[in-house]
Amino acid sequence: MRGQKSGWSLGLAGLLAPVTLWLGLFFLVPLLLILAYSFGTSGVYGGITLGFNPSNYLKVFDPLYLEIVVRTFVIAAINTLICLLLGYPLAYFIAFKGGRWKTILILMVMVPFWTSFLIRAYAWVVILNGNGVANKTLQFLGITDGPVNLIFTPGAVTLGMAYAYLPFMILPLYAALEKFDPRLKEAAQDLGASKWHTFWRITFPLSMPGVIAGSILVFIPSAGEFVIPNLLGGSRTVLIGNLVQQQFLQARDWAFGSALAMMLAALLLAAILFYVRHVGTDKLEGV
C-alpha cells in the first residue's frame, strides 16, 4: 500500500517536473529579474546598475504617470463592465434558449479567435479612421456632415478592447449558467417571485462564479493591454502597457519600466482580491 502510494508520488512528480521547470525558468526567474531591475539605476545610455534604489517607484506617483495609471484602471474597469453587460444576455440566451444549437453558438463566440489578434486590431483602424467605414456610414445616413474624429480617443480604445475581450467574458458566464438547474427558477416563481425577482435573487447570484471568473479574465489583460491603445489610442490615450513598452524600447529606462510592471502586477493583485472579497457570492445572498 505504502509502496504504491510513493510510486504514485514519483509518477506525479515526474509529470509535474516539466511544468515546474518551465514556469521556474520562464516565469519566476524573469519576474525576480524584473523585481531586481525595478530597484536598480538605469545608465544614461541604457544598461542597468543593480542596487537598492526606490526612486523608480516614487516616480510612478508623478502626476504625469499617475494619470496614466488611473486611466488604465478606469478603462479596464469600463471595459469589464461593458463586456459583462453585453456578454451576460448572450451567455444567458445560449445557456437557456440555445437548445441543440448551444455548441454551435458557443463555437461562433470563439470564431474571432481564428483571425490574428493584430489583424483584428488593425481592422478597427480601418473602420474608425477619417475615411473609414464608420465615418462613411455616418455621412451616408446624414448623421454627420463631414468626417468626425473617432480614432485616437479613449472611446476607440474601449471599443477595441470590448471587441477583443468579449469572448473571455462569455465563456465563463456560459459555463456557470449552463450548470444552473432551471427547476430553481420554477421553484422561485412558485414561491411568488416574478421573472425579474427570480433573476436577481436566484439566477444572478448563482452565476456569480462565472461573473467573477469572466471579470478577472477580461480585467487583467485589459489593464496590461498595449497593442489596442497603441493602434486606436494614439499619443493621447497612453496606458501603463504602452508606458512600460516605451521605457524598455524607446527611453531605455529599464529600471523605471520594471518598477511600472511591478506596480501594475501589485495593483492588479490588490484589485482582484478586493473584487473577489466584496463581490463574492456571500455578499449577494442577503439581498
Partner 1 sequence: MEERRTMQQSPPGETERKVAVRLSGVTKSFGDFAAVDDVSLDIYEGEFFSLLGPSGCGKTTTLRMIAGFEEPTAGEISVAGQQVQGVPPYKRPVNTVFQSYAIFPHLDVFDNVAFGLKRAGVKGDELRRRVTKACGMVQLAGYEKRRPNMLSGGQQQRVALARALVNRPKVLLLDEPLGALDLKLRKELQLELRTLQEEVGITFVYVTHDQEEALTMSDRIAVMNEGKVQQVADPATLYERPRNRFVAGFIGQTNVISGKVESVNGDRVLIKTAAGAEIEAIAHEEVRVEVGAEAHLAVRPEKLRFGNSGDNVFAAEVRQIVYLGASTQYIMKLADGGRLIVYQQNAHDATVNAAVGDEAQVSCDATNCLVLGG
The least CB distance from residue 105 to partner 1, in Å, is: 25
> Is the CB of 2 or the CB of 183 nearer to partner 1?
183
The least CB distance from residue 153 to partner 1, in Å, is: 41
Residue from 189, 227, 245, 265 touching partner 1 (CB under 8 A): that is 189
Query: Binding to partner 1 by residue 145, rule CB under 8 A?
Result: no
Of 35, 56, 78, 5, nearest in space to 247 by CA: 56
Build a one-symbol-per-residue string for 193-232: x at contacts with partner 1 by CB under 8 A, - elsewhere. Answer: xx--x---xx--xx--------------------------
Query: Binding to partner 1 by residue 190, rule CB under 8 A?
Result: yes
> Is the CB of 3 or the CB of 192 nearer to partner 1?
192
Residue 100: is it exposed, middle or buried by C-beta count within 10 angstroms (0-12/13-18/19+)?
exposed
Residue from 191, 269, 273, 276 touching partner 1 (CB under 8 A): that is 191
Query: Binding to partner 1 by residue 278, rule CB under 8 A?
Result: no
* 86, 78 contact by CB (below 8 A): no
Build a one-symbol-per-residue string for 157-186: x at contacts with partner 1 by CB under 8 A, - elsewhere. Answer: ------------------------x-xx-x
Query: Binding to partner 1 by residue 137, rule CB under 8 A?
Result: no
The least CB distance from residue 103 to partner 1, in Å, is: 24
The least CB distance from residue 203 to partner 1, in Å, is: 11
Query: Binding to partner 1 by residue 136, rule CB under 8 A?
Result: no
The least CB distance from residue 92 to partner 1, in Å, is: 17
* 203, 185 contact by CB (below 8 A): yes
The least CB distance from residue 287 to partner 1, in Å, is: 10
> Is the CB of 5 or the CB of 100 nearer to partner 1?
100
H or E element in which residue 65 lies? helix 63-97
* Residues in binding contact with partner 1, number by CB under 8 A: 20
Of 172, 203, 199, 201, nearest in space to 84 by CA: 172
Helices (H), 115-253: 117-128, 133-140, 154-178, 182-190, 195-198, 204-206, 208-224, 227-228, 240-249
* 91, 173 contact by CB (below 8 A): yes
Residue 24: is it exposed, middle or buried by C-beta count within 10 angstroms (0-12/13-18/19+)?
exposed
DSSP code string of 20-55: HHHHIIIIIHHHHHHHHHHTSEE-TTS-EE-S--TH
Of 187, 172, 209, 213, nearest in space to 90 by CA: 172
Residue from 192, 235, 249, 250 touching partner 1 (CB under 8 A): that is 192
Grid coordinates representing 128 are 474608425
The least CB distance from residue 286 to partner 1, in Å, is: 8
Of 43, 65, 77, 71, nearest in space to 244 by CA: 65
Binding site for partner 1 (CB under 8 A): 181, 183-184, 186-194, 197, 201-202, 205-206, 281, 284-285
